[in-house]
Each structure stands twice: as structure tokens, then as C-alpha cells.
Amino acid sequence: MLKEELDHIINDYDQFKQRINEQKQNPQILQSNSLLKQINQWEIDSIEIIQQRAQNCREIVIKTSETFIYDIETKFNDLCEQIKQIQKENEFNEINLNYLTNELIDITQELNNPSNISIQQDSESFINEISISSSRKPKWNKWKQNAIIIAAGNGYGQELYQLKSPFGIFIDRKKSILIADFHNHRIVKWKYNGKKGKIIAGGNRYGNQMDELRYPADVIVDQENHSIIIADRGNSRVIEWMNHNQQILIDDIDCHGLAIDKHGYLYVSDWKNNEVRRWKMGEYNNKGIIVAGGNGKGDQLNQLDCPTFIFVDKDQAVYISDRDNNRVMKWRKDAKKGTIVAGGNAHGENLNQLYHPQGLIVDHLGQIYVAEWGNDRVVRWCEGKKEGEIVVGGNGRGNHSNQLNHPSGLSFDAEGNLYVADEWNNRIAKFEIIL
């Protein structure tokens, strides 16, 4: 019996020795060890964290750099305007020249030495933690709460010093305002500090002839040929006016909002078919391409319900005032569905809600400005935030300088002043930026 037990021990010994030899010849077998598995998983997780943090830092650097360049360009453009004004007036002295020279030197030095951004590392941890530190904080602009009435405000009427329910507006480089005068069936141009407007399209009578308009909802300017493009909502067409000549660009479309991107594409919202379509400028002999909605009326992320005003950013992402869903949607280029970037919590007056959003602008920082037709205010939302903040209005419905009455169109001028088409007050209100 003892001999049999000894034989078993010798056999176990031989098997163990064989396993040791196998692992010596093939160390990879050790990788099945649970501790090594944990180490391997830690390595994978750590790499993913590092890659994600690196990508976040890259995005912050790119966004900060874009903002920095935008600020420099704005300062340079302001300086150019001052130089042009001095040249035009032909009255300047040595003090003026020294001022202009010093301003240009300061801008040049700021551009050449962007010292507002750096990388900080935490050397105490085994894997160095990095983050982006910027001395240039995002500038959250504010505006004076009492508006200057710069167009109309003289009651509901058809005289050149009056408006009837202004909808979309466009501010040109000379600060003239183009107004879609909805119930007057015309487009009016109101020059800077003007006492009355000038009819530049329509205004003949209510109709569908080439020189007539019917409830125009929006107007924009094609900077390439200096023509104006109009969403002739009542006639279900998009029409171009240039030097008193007219041509229909897009027919049989229930249009409301218009936008042009930097690549030369025209975007049109179709409020009945609940979609936004895009056309290459000059190529209108097709039905265009659907870039948002087009999946029937509804509140799903791939649907819209009465889209009105639209905005297109530099990446060709389309922002849409989804009016009857009380939200603003963002559809990235080629996306199959959108994301809610403002509202979407039913209609109401809380800061996490919108009530029939209309006019829409997105600034270079990605901040979203919305005219709330139902809440008589303009609000600002930052993408990813749960609620917005009141920019102007929100002081009850009325016609005082700090009040709005169903605001519709929105626009900024080159200086950042905010213009609001105060629809039921039949006026255009200007809220000056606080520098």
C-alpha cells in the first residue's frame, strides 16, 4: 500500500515538473493568470481615459484658438472702419495717426504672442494628469435692458413709417435693416437712423404675380450678387429680387425660414412638411436635399413639428426652431436625427422650457439665442445645459422699452448689438451691447 502511494506521488511530481517545463518554454501561458488579466484591463482602461482626455483638450484648444482669432479679427475690422471713416472725412491730425499706429501695434503683438493658453500637468500621479488652463475666459455678453426703437413703433399700418407684424429681419454691413413686413406683403429697408423705410420688394398689392408678395416670412441677402432672397410664405415659393428684377428660385414649398452657409448652399424650412431642405446656390432645378426632419410630424429626434426660423453654422450643422415642439433642434451634417439643444420640456415659462421659439441665432462660441414668441423674451442657451438665461425682455407683455410683445426675428450687427422684430408691437427694437 505504501508503495502504491509512493507511485502516485512520483506520478504527481512528474506531471508538475512537466507543467513547470511547459511554462518555462512558453511564458505566455502565465497571461491566463487572473492578476495579469486585471493588469491588462487596467492598461486598456487607462489608455481609453488618456485618449479621451487628450481629445477633450484638443477640442478646448481648437475652440479657444478660434475664439482668439475671432476677437482679433473683430478688433482689426473695427480699426479698419475707423481708418475708412477718417479717410472719408479727410480730417485727421498727428494724434489720430499715433492712435491708429499704436492700436495696430497692440493687435499685432496680441496675434503674435497668444500667451492666454498653456498646459498644466499634475506630476504627483503615476500617469501625469493634464488639463488646459486659459486666462481668456468666455465673454458672456450682456445688453442694455431698455431698447431703442429704430424702426416703426408708430402703430399697426401701411405707411412707410409703420409696420404690420414684422417677421424675419436681416442687418447688412451698413446697419440698414431689411424687414419681412408680413401683413403688408412687402420687404422694407430701413436705413441706419432713418425715420421711415423704403419698399424694396412687393408692396404693390396682395398677390402672386412676379412683382407681388403674400405674407413674406423671412429675408436674407446673397452677398455674392447682392440680391435679396425672400421666403414668400403665402405664395409657397422662394423668390429672388435683384435690381427690380424677380425670379422664382424654388416653387411649391411651404417656406418660412432661410439661411445661407459659407459653402454657397441655401437652406429653407418647410413648416407644413416638417423638414429643412438644402440647395446649391444657382442649382434650383431639383427638389433639394433633406438635411433635417422629413419623417412626418412628431416629437421624435428624427421629426419636427412646424419648423420656422433656421441657422447654419460653419460646420453646416442646422439649428431649427421646432415651434410646436417648443424646442430648438441641432442636426449635424449628414445626421439621421437631431439633438435637443434648447427647451424640449413642453411649453412654459421656466428657464428649462421654451414657448413657441421663433428667431434663432448661434454665435461663434456656440451660444444659442432664441426669440420666445409665447414668453415675450429672448433667451440664451449653451449646448449641453439644462436651462437657458433671459437676455432681454421677460418683463411681461407690453410696449415699454424693456418689454416685448410676441418677438419674432432676431439679428446681430457687427458690433454685437441685438435687434428684435417685436411683432405685435409693430416695431424693430435694438438692445445695445454692454462692453
Last residue of a domain, one of 103, 131, 159: 131
Same domain, 262 and 150: yes
pLDDT at 129: 62
- Predicted local confidence at residue 132, as pLDDT: 58
Closest to 285 (Cα-Cα) out of 333, 247, 329, 319: 247
Exposure b/e, 100-110, CB count within 10 A at least 16 = b:
eeebeeebeee
For residue 19, how far is the Cα from the chain centroid? 66
> Reduced to 3 states, what is the DSSP secondary structure of residue 290?
strand
Does 268 share its domain with 295? yes
Closest CA to 420 of 368, 375, 358: 358
C-alpha–C-alpha distance, residues 426 and 431, integer Å: 16
Least Cα distance to 254 among 227, 275, 229, 285 occurs for 275
Confirm whether 137 is domain-assigned.
Answer: no
Mean pLDDT calculated for residue range 166-180 = 95
Most confident option among 93-97, 119-123, 352-356: 352-356
Same domain? For 177 and 93 the reply is no
Amino acid symbol at 186: R
My answer on whether 147 and 124 are in the same domain is no
Instruction: CATH number of the domain at 234, please.
Output: 2.120.10.30
- Residue 81 has, within 13 A of its CA and on its CB side, a CA count of 10
Q: Does one domain contain both 312 and 238?
A: yes
| Amino acid sitting at position 397 | R
Same domain, 102 and 160: no
Answer whether residue 246 is part of any domain.
yes
Cβ count near 273 (within 10 Å):
17
Is 121 a residue whose pLDDT tops 80?
A: no
In this predicted structure, which of 121-130, 135-144, 266-275, 344-353 has the lowest mean pLDDT?
121-130
What integer pLDDT is reported at residue 128 of this predicted model?
A: 62
Q: Which domain holds residue 61?
A: 34-131
pLDDT on residue 125: 60
Q: Which residue has the higher pLDDT, 152 or 44?
A: 152
Neighbouring C-beta atoms of residue 12, cutoff 10 Å: 10
- Would you say 12 and 18 are in contact if contact means Cβ atoms under 8 Å apart? no
Q: What is the pLDDT of residue 224?
A: 84
Q: What is the mean pLDDT of residues 19-28?
A: 70
For the chain, counts of helices (H) and of strands (E) = 3, 28
Please check whether residue 251 is in contact with residue 279, taking contact to mean a CB–CB distance below 8 angstroms.
no
pTM of the full predicted structure?
A: 0.73
Residue 282 and residue 172 in one domain? yes
Q: What is the pLDDT of residue 326?
A: 98
Same domain, 374 and 249: yes
Q: Which of 63-72, 186-195, 231-240, 392-401 has the lowest mean pLDDT?
A: 63-72
Same domain for 17 and 43, yes or no, is no
Better-predicted residue by pLDDT, 181 or 193 = 181
Q: Could you tell me if residue 59 is inside a domain? A: yes
* 194 burial type by CB count under 10 A (0-12 exposed, 13-18 middle, 19+ buried): middle
- Residue 392 near residue 143, CB atoms below 8 Å: yes
| pLDDT above 80: residue 33 | no
As a whole number of angstroms, the distance between CA 258 and CA 35 comes to 61
Confidence at residue 265, expressed as pLDDT on a 0 to 100 scale? 96
Residues 263, 397, single domain; the answer is: yes
Quote the mean pLDDT of the chain: 89
How many structural domains are present in the chain? Answer: 3
What amino acid occupies position 255? Answer: C
Select from 62, 35, 220, 64 the least CA-distant residue to 134.
64
C-alpha cell at position 88: 472719408
Of the listed ranges 60-64, 237-241, 294-298, 411-415, the one predicted with least confidence: 60-64
Tell me what the mean pLDDT of segment 373-399 comes to: 95
CA distance 365 to 301: 24
Q: Which residue has the cell 444659442?
A: 368
Considering the domain architecture, whether residues 242 and 201 belong to the same structural domain is answered as: yes
Q: What percent of the chain has pLDDT over 70?
A: 92
Question: What does the block give as the cell for 121?
Answer: 500637468
| pLDDT given at position 196 | 95
Residue 190 has a pLDDT of 96
> Furthest-apart CA pair in the chain: how many Å?
123
Residue 136 domain flag: no
- pLDDT score recorded for residue 136: 58
Identify the pLDDT of residue 201: 95
Same domain assignment for residues 210 and 317? yes
Output 409 or 76, whichever has higher pLDDT. Answer: 409
240 domain-assigned: yes
Q: Which amino acid is at 208?
A: N
pLDDT at position 276 is: 98
Name the band, by pLDDT with cuts 50, 70 and 90, for residue 93. confident
H or E stretch covering 76: helix 34-89
